[in-house]
Amino acid sequence: MFKFCQNNVLTIFFKKTFKMKTIFKFLISVLVMNGVAHATEVKIFDFTELELSQLEVRKVRGADNLTIYTVGSNENGNFFKAVADNAASGLGKEVKIDLNKTPFINITWKIEKDLPGIKENTKKGHDFAARVFAVKKTGTTPLSNRAINYVFSSNNEVGFNAPSPYTKKSIDNVLASTKYNLDEWVTVKSNVKEDFKKYHDLDVNELDGLAIMSDTDNSKMKAVAYYQNIYFSEK
């Protein structure tokens, strides 16, 4: 009788142990999977006061004023607020992004005050309330670099693209428009690797830098924009 009970207890113990091992293995696999998923996302900005103080500020040549960038927060985290009043300057960051692993740029942004009526593909109207530059070094000087300029347009349709009126080495690519999303948070995505091939005929494996900019130096107007989540992903 004792042996029977003992064997029965051992059987229950081993069944429970096996079950716990199975659960443990499952939890480990979930954690590993989550870790892999997280690893395929490359975050660009932290949107903190410390980071803002460390980012490279680049004023556009000929601009009267600097764009004012500040840090704010909402239920989804921190963001940079940009106020461009007859101003043009960007915040740049040198980063190495493997476009074979994470080719998609993801941007969450909002335009509070846009630039109605300007012709953005002309020199006099080449201003955007919000834009994100993806930069590839293709020479020894900044002027030789190639860029895709992802913009939140005030006047053009989503999908519109054209070379900058100042240089054909930078392509303006409209990912969002205030025609449909004014004063609303919008998340957009684009395949940077494919964009460089499509617009520059370049096979780019690695990106060298990223910058955000809100500018109104050509139109002499005022724009207010917000940048929140900017990262690269596998898909």
Distances (CA, A) of 214 to 42, 53, 86, 127, 171: 23, 18, 10, 8, 16
- Domain 42-233: homologous superfamily in CATH: Galactose-binding domain-like (2.60.120.260)
pTM here is: 0.82
| Selected residue with higher pLDDT from 58 and 38 | 58
pLDDT above 50: residue 87: yes
Q: How many helices (H) and strands (E) does the chain have?
A: 3, 13
Q: Which tokens belong to 196?
A: 């460089």
Q: Quick one: average pLDDT of 67-82?
A: 97
Interatomic CA distance for residues 81 and 8, integer angstroms: 67
- What integer pLDDT is reported at residue 79 of this predicted model? 98
Q: Which tokens belong to 208?
A: 């060298």
Q: Which tokens belong to 180?
A: 């449909």
Interatomic CA distance for residues 234 and 37, integer angstroms: 9
Query: How do the domains of the chain map onto residue ranges?
Result: 1-39, 42-233
Distances (CA, A) of 101 to 123, 157, 174, 208, 211: 36, 30, 24, 15, 21
